[in-house]
Structure 1
Amino acid sequence: MLKAVFLVTVIFIVFGELLSIAKSISYEQLKLTVKAIPAYKLLITVLVGIVSILPMTGYDFILNSMLHTKHKKRYVFETSWLVNTVNNLAGFGGLISVGLRSEFYAKDNDPKEVMSALSKILLFLEAGLSLLSLASLILVVTGNTVAFLRQYWIWLVGGSLYFPAVYIFTKFKKSGLLGGLANKERLGLTLTSFLEWSGVVLAFMCVGWAMGVSVSIKEILPLFIAASVIGIVSMLPGALGSFDVIMILGLSSLGVPRATSVIWLILFRLAYYVIPLIIGGSFFFDNTWQSINTQYSGIPKNLALEFFHKVEVFLLYFSGIMIILLATIPQGFTKIPWLKMINIYHYHIISEFPNIILGFSLLVMGRGIAARVKRAYWPTIALLIVAILYTFFFDFSMVALFVLGIMLIMIVVSRTELYREQLVYSWQWMTADGFIIGVLVILYTIIGVYNHVGRHHPHRGTISFFLFPSERLWITGFIAILIVAIFMLLFFHYLEGSKHKIGVPLDEERVLKILNQYGGNIDSQLAFLGDKAFYFYNDGEEDTVFFQFVTYNNKCIVMGDPAGKQSDIQAAIQQFLDDADRWCYQPIFYETNESSIIALHEMGYDFIKMGEQALVDLDTFTTAGKKMKGTRSTINKITKEGYQFEVLQPPFDEDLMLTLQEISDYWLKGRKEKGFSMGFFSESYLQRAPIAVVKDPDGKIVSFANFMPTYTKTIGTIDLMRHGKDAPSGSMDFLFVNLFDYMKTRGIKYFDLGMAPLSNVGLSKRSFMQERIAHLVYEFGARFYSFQGIRDYKEKYSPEWISRYTLYPRKAWVIYVMIVILLVDNRTISKKSKLLGLNRKKDPQLDPGKDDVAKE
């Protein structure tokens, strides 16, 4: 309880003294004084104030040596800084430092040993002050100071006697609470204290130098030391009151105006007390934060960094917009209350040109930071430093400096959030940035035109804040916009880096090895079209999983589910997402099954149902019954006319390929072929699997369908299904029914009839909004595409309907996801694409029943 009371008391004392310092400050006078001091002098003053704290850390290193602790040097340094800066402000003759040090070190050591060591250190805290008191006493006695200072000789005598008394006492005291101090420790404590108090005097003198006050060190030293002795004896927190009164009176006797003395003392307290205390507080927060973060498995750190990132992006965009608006409608910020309220920046006519450049530059940097691109870090840091210096010297605003400083700190702290190697400028980002920048540029242009017209007409009834001081000033700003436009292009080019794309071209051997060893799925054979890139997952010994995809803008559209070793799928997806994200790409998984939803939902993915896949159960399928009466009649008719079903095995000769080419060309009727989620007529692709054909009574092929190996033992399917001009009506049904029988005899359980797009999508009023919109497309899009017709045709075979989904990152705009899928899935295949890197090498996994067929 006493420890808790002590710590709470110290906190109240510190905050009380900070408030006391704040109340004593005349901000207007301080602002004028600071503006009059050159920036480099202010910087030197702050640095000296910080450096003067460093010697005090010697106490804690000596303490840890006395206690034989094994704390890390960083921990000792940080705790020491905190203890000493709090003690400087809180005072009480060093007793605060004893209490705080016992709190930090007592838990790891015997409390009695800790208290004994702290008591010895407490004795030497003022050793340096005593030595400087002796030096000051000599200056006073020898008459080298003003007469006013001689009245303090008695305090200097008392201070001078302190160190000899302590030294002699500890020298002969061999045991007990204050005894047993080694010569090395005594010398180290003395040196530490001397450097500490010398640093205090140096910090005070440095403030006077920065203010341009000319006072000799031999006059300041006795005054400062006497005031410090009196302040310590009074045991007041920070020696506030007694120290200040003596210093003001003494400085006045030295010819320093009282107002200047007050500002001098305030700046000294800011440089020596407040700023180091803030640094010490950051050390304390860091240590406490690390402890909490470790306790909760790093989650607090991740949440904090994510929060910092979002805040810094918001502030970059907000600052950029506000600065541009200031340059665009400066009068608006004085005439519109809510604009005036949210404004944190100032405006001057002379800053028109730099305001435009600075504002747009902040927006550009905001995009780089929002995109988490590594390359944006240093340019943003440099821009913020320039903005801070610009605000400090030309548009001084404490609030603006604070906001810019917070941005700078957040970006430095959350640097690990910038992990992407390049920027791929997505349509989503282009839309957001284009809207913001476009509105600002259009507004600026309209105001310029308005002002030009306004030169010839009175402004009665107009909005006065649209008025520019001069047309020349507007033109200057417009030139700045053009400069920024060039800068934006160059900067985005810089962020794009090497324009690296993930994935590699088709490597048949790698793909076939995975498929033959671990199996595939109904989309695996599409890999051999050669129109997609590939990502391979390696378990450390061999490739076990692959993805096939097409990259468009910043999106990698993955066709179907990944193929390969099922136990590695989860790890493969995670690695694929990580690599894609590192290079600023977003994987979109197109036409996947429900298991992919479970795997990807935890990784930040949403989904939309794209339709249903029809699987015919070959064990239960029959053409008997009323439902299949029409199909049964058609098949019987075609059979009676002498048409025959046959499965041909590769390799195929040139004459056969020419025949199939003619049938395909007739079926296409001049339309260009598509790829990605479906096959196209490519000789190399067709050579990889058997082809089912329908022959007329003369043995001429009139229809064909190529097998599509699924690399499973349960599902069979086909890809291209085309008929020529001589094909009988109903040849498609004839093909399907015969394929069902063929596959069933070879142990295949299901036949995949393919997708029914948008089937049973968005039927419930509780469905996702995007799915309900998709249902409207299904209902009213029949004039362009027979959604319902495809569903009805496949339904007559009584299939099982399996839902298929598209999964996309939760942060992605679904409208752009669907547009990219539409463009990729409907892009036409050129003649050159049909020949990409494929050969006639026979696939060893052509068909589950290939051996039986060969024998027949």
Structure 2
Amino acid sequence: MRAMLPYLLALALFGAGILALYRLLGPVDILAVADQIASTPWHVIGAATAATLAGYACLACYDWSALRHIGKRLPPPVALMGGFLAYAFGNTIGLTAVSGGAVRWRLYSGLGLDGYDIAAVSTFTSVAFGIAATLVGLTALAVHPTALASLLPLGAPLVRLLAILAIAAILGPLIWASVTRRQQRIGRFTISAPSPVSILAQLLISIGDIGFSALTLYLLLPGGAPDFLNFLAIFAAATMAGIVSHVPGGVGVFETVIIAALPSSAGIDKIAAALLLFRLIYYLVPFAVALVLLALFEAWRAVAADPRLTRIGRLFTATEPAFRAVEPLAPLLLAVMVFGSGLWMSLSSLLPPFTEAAETAEALFPLAFVEGSALLGSALGALLIVLSLGLVRRSLGALWLTVLAMLAGAAVSLAQNIETEQVLSLILGVAILMPFRGAFHRRSLLTHSALTPGWVVLLLAAILGVGFVLFFAHKSTPYAHELWWQFAADANAPRALRSGLLASLLVGAGSLFLLLRTPRFRPQPPGEDDLATARDIAMASDTPAACFALTGDKTIMISDDRKAFVMFGVSGNSWLAYGAPVGPAESAEEVAYSFVDTARRDGARAVFYQIGPKSVPLMLDLGMTLHKMGEEAVIDLSRFSLDGPRRKKLRAAHNRALRDGLTLELLAPPHDHGLMLRLRAISDEWLAAKKSQEKSFSVGRFHRRWLDRWPLVVVHHEGTPVAFANLLMTDSRTTCSVDLMRHAARAPAGTMEFLFTELMLRMKARGFGRFSLGMAPLSGLSPQRSGRLWDRFGDIAYRHGGAFYNFEGLRAFKAKFDPEWVPHYVATPSGMPPLLPLADAARLIARGG
């Protein structure tokens, strides 16, 4: 419930905004609003567009200013284009701090900035905007204390006094901290005050941003609106209310504050028209421009144009890192575009005709055509809304169905209303989709795990929006049961009722179908064909851990093209995948989505156990939360030797082992039956001493069929085997590691250290580049930096859990070889500490074989 609370709150605020709008717009006639929009002079629209572009130029400067503050200077074209794209997409999608932060992460991480730098940039921009918007609004209130008289039950003198005191309370500490260069520690974060020059520059940027965005709406308002300073206070209050609500774009909340605060003498119908135009110009135009630029960049890359030949080529060359950073977000952005197109088509079918040409068409065309085209338009709009979920999951089928639906929608719109704007917009949408054909490569189900809480809330909000427009457009109609069956060329209300019902039913039925599909895959032991396919894929990879798919104790899910797989076991309520998907990136992504989707549809939690850093982006795309579970010790064999002062202790231990009569033998499979009997005795003795039994899932076990797949490393003491390990490797010969490691009680001290040292020298001589010493569980957790409950728990277990497992001793042993410590994670659907998934994993490992 805590995880769902933000979504439920956003939906509740959206619904409250819709209800408030419906009541505030009670006396408004939708035809009057349409006439007001149509009569807006083009020079006013042009001036509002120019103010919008100037505002977005100021927004783009936020990132430039933030990067200067933290001392990370990037080329201005990259920083400015990245800032423009982040705000153009973030402002329209909503949750700007999150969506804009996602763009920044992809942009700046590729340019050498780490996570803390990117967090600093996002924090700087958010705090700068919040402070500036508050100061601008308070200053406007101090000058015109009656600006929010309809919303604040306070007298003008008191409002002015409170505004001045609030300005002083904000500016005083800020200026003092800036002049003294103070640092404030809040929890685990340290905030450094910007220099006075940085504060002045950022203040000018922020004033420009808020001023130009307010000017955009102010230019569109009717003549009875207050002066600009009065309006600035209203605009600042409405903007902050929309941001705090976390409703996408502040829809409903922003409009409610503006309409309630402006004087009714300005004309509510004219204010509503201005707000609609403001939404189109300030939010949709930059979003469309950014999408078109991104599509042109994709097309430019596809044709491999010479950047020196064209001006646009030089632009793309200078800003290429910014576009490449946004490129992975294209499916989400295109899904938002298609969702909006579908919503627009659904709403258009509810509205009466606004133009004389459309009314003439209704009079001339047959009744069946008029009624049928309205229903078809609403059905196509609902289809686009559902298909947008498939676009997020890169479904190729969803892409082509979307293109067909948009082209059909353009044809229906042309025939239904004779309105070229909607037709041209749908065709432009198809043109934007086509350069991204390569991003949609999944050939399985249309959607995988599509109905996340965010999408559910968005669908419910769309249905609420359809209901609002339906009843607002036809609020003067006396509703009766006969309306549903009334068919006439001039009967718009019953047609809208049928269209709205059809659109809502299709969206709801499509969503219900996605939720209630039965699983098509059942966990079961792998067959010989699946094992053979998994073996080919694993041996072609450079990850020895992929070979654990061949133990036979895990289910293997193979991608549709049979180029990638996920190996997993079922324990409790968890489907536990061991490691990341194995195979080429596109196929691995497909099978990962299939795994998560199938587990969820089976009522289980999908968990990825022991994930390396290379798989982190995929896990985030899957909506998983990462919890660090330890670090893997990896040796760079090209730099490994026993020479030099740093290797003095290791060299001495190795020489002592040789003097004690230890030798190492590397044996290729198949293995001698007599040797296997002697190694079995060592294994049984080792298990008895550990009071343990054979494990499964994350390790192999002593079984002739398993060990005959791999080379064996045997340590002899004066000719008698005393220790052994099996060596895992793939055909790439880049990395190798060991699986079982067991020794006899009579083995001399230092036997296992000798095994690893001598083995790494042998593998280096054979041309291998890396050697994995395996995991150090719970190692490297940093609760002081992360502040996460799981990290605190894991750190305590690491430092004080010696009675159960020698965590510190294991890391200390591996640290002798001076490895690189590579973080590994468990990826779970929840942000809660992964105690239940790890308990399920422990039971799965303990089952043995």
Larger of the two Rg values belongs to structure: 1
Task: Tell me, yes or no, whether TM beats 0.5.
Answer: no
**TM-score normalised by the chain length of structure 2:** 0.43
**TM-score normalised by the chain length of structure 1:** 0.43
